[in-house]
């Protein structure tokens, strides 16, 4: 029972044909003639739950207004996939795109404070909602469908393999197969590692932010009978549990563990099919990448909040020792989510790392920075 409670708290705390173009916002041309994909809407997208209207934090409001949802073809299924694109005005073409992956049962809103600071540094950043989480509609992957030859295809589900297929399709269709820097926060770190192991050609480098990787699967919840699992999911999205998880995630709880932070973290839980998508992930057993981490050859930046009370700092040093080409940087005065609690320091570390990718003189691998 204690193990189940621990896993529930760990996962809850991490929340925190022709293709139609995205419909939220508008595009324009810059003076140089380059297509600007800035999405400056004055309204929230219709697919975001109406309680978004109550948000007060400017970063949260801006992020929510700029979420797009667009069809991405994933093995014959058209999945309405949600993401926040780069503004366009700040994109520097001489650097690889940076794709941000949120944690367990979270959304692109997790990067609301980091993304503006990345764009100030002229980094092309995309915040992406994994299949089954965020504002991506999982329905096509939860249902039986037919292929082009009218053959029945079983549901893909929303487990790790399906999430990787979805991410690969997004990389192919939206990032146009450009090698990217893939950032994964918390369980998003396991998702990033899983993807990099299967599609190394797509990943130029990795950034792991207080990442899960050495904890296998999702614990005993994977084997719960469906009725009990559904009860557990209702607890997972409940306000009391999210309140506790919200406080666990931060170092400065008084400043950051607010009611609004909790509400932002569970905003996507109010969407249709949230329960079915999470049940599918639970029954898949979750990510199991620990035995393969040593095979990840890409240069990797490991960022870790010094006061992380969810994933102990020993995991940071374990990543540093296991990955062949890793550097570790500690983020001071931060808990489990430095991209929310210390976004300026986090953006600075990412910028320095991305600059190092262009240096001819290789950095000493497996180093530690303060």
For 362, counting Cβ atoms within 10 Å of its Cβ (0-12 exposed, 13-18 middle, 19+ buried), the class is exposed
- Of 260, 258, 257, 241, residue with least CA distance to 249: 257
Separation between Cα atoms, residue 337 and residue 16, nearest integer Å: 9
In the set 16, 106, 308, 339, the catalytic residue is: 308
Angle between helices 2-13 and 226-236 (to 10 degrees): 50
- The answer to whether residue 336 is catalytic is yes
- Of 312, 370, 319, residue with least CA distance to 336: 312
Q: CB count, 10 Å around CB of 76?
A: 13
Helix, coil or strand: residue 90: coil
Separation between Cα atoms, residue 158 and residue 150, nearest integer Å: 23
- The answer to whether residue 105 is catalytic is no
- Of 23, 36, 161, residue with least CA distance to 81: 23
In the set 186, 280, 284, 334, the catalytic residue is: 186
Q: What would the DSSP string read from start to end of 62-85?
A: HHHHT-EEEEEEETTEEEEEEEE-
Pair 29, 77: CB distance under 8 Å: no
Separation between Cα atoms, residue 188 and residue 216, nearest integer Å: 14
Angle subtended at Cα 160 by Cα 269 and Cα 204, rounded to the nearest 5 degrees: 110
- The answer to whether residue 268 is catalytic is no
Helix, coil or strand: residue 25: coil
Just list the catalytic residues.
Answer: 186, 308, 336
């Amino acid at each position: 029972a204690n193990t189940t409670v621990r896993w529930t708290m760990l996962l809850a705390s991490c929340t925190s044909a022709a293709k139609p173009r995205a419909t939220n916002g508008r595009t324009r041309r810059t003076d140089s003639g380059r297509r600007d994909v800035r999405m400056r809407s004055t309204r929230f997208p219709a697919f975001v739950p109406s309680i978004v209207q109550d948000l007060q934090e400017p970063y949260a409001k801006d992020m929510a207004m700029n979420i797009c949802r667009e069809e991405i073809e994933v093995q014959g299924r058209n999945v309405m996939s949600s993401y926040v694109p780069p503004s366009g005005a700040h994109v520097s073409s001489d650097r690889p795109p940076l794709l941000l992956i949120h944690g367990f049962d979270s959304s692109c809103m997790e990067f609301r404070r980091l993304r503006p600071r990345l764009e100030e540094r002229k980094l092309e950043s995309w915040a992406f909602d994994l299949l089954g989480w965020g504002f991506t509609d999982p329905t096509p992957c939860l249902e039986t469908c037919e292929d082009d030859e009218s053959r029945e295809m079983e549901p893909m589900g929303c487990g790790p393999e399906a999430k990787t297929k979805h991410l690969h399709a997004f990389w192919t269709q939206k990032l146009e197969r450009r090698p990217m820097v893939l950032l994964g926060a918390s369980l998003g770190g396991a998702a990033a590692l899983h993807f990099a192991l299967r599609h190394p050609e797509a990943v130029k480098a990795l950034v792991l932010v207080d990442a899960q990787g050495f904890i296998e699967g999702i614990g005993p919840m994977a084997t719960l009978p469906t009725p009990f699992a559904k009860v557990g999911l209702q607890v997972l999205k409940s306000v009391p549990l999210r309140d506790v998880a919200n406080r666990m995630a931060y170092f400065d709880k008084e400043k950051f563990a607010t009611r609004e932070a909790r509400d932002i973290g569970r905003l996507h839980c109010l969407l249709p099919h949230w329960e079915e998508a999470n049940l599918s992930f639970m029954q898949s057993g979750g990510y199991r990448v620990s035995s393969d981490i040593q095979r990840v050859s890409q240069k990797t930046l490991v960022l870790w909040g010094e006061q992380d009370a969810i994933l102990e700092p020993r995991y940071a040093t374990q990543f540093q020792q296991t990955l062949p080409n890793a550097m570790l940087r500690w983020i001071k005065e931060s808990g489990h989510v430095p991209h929310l609690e210390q976004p300026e320091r986090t953006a600075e570390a990412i910028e320095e790392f991305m600059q190092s990718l262009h240096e001819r003189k290789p950095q000493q691998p497996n180093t530690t920075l303060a």
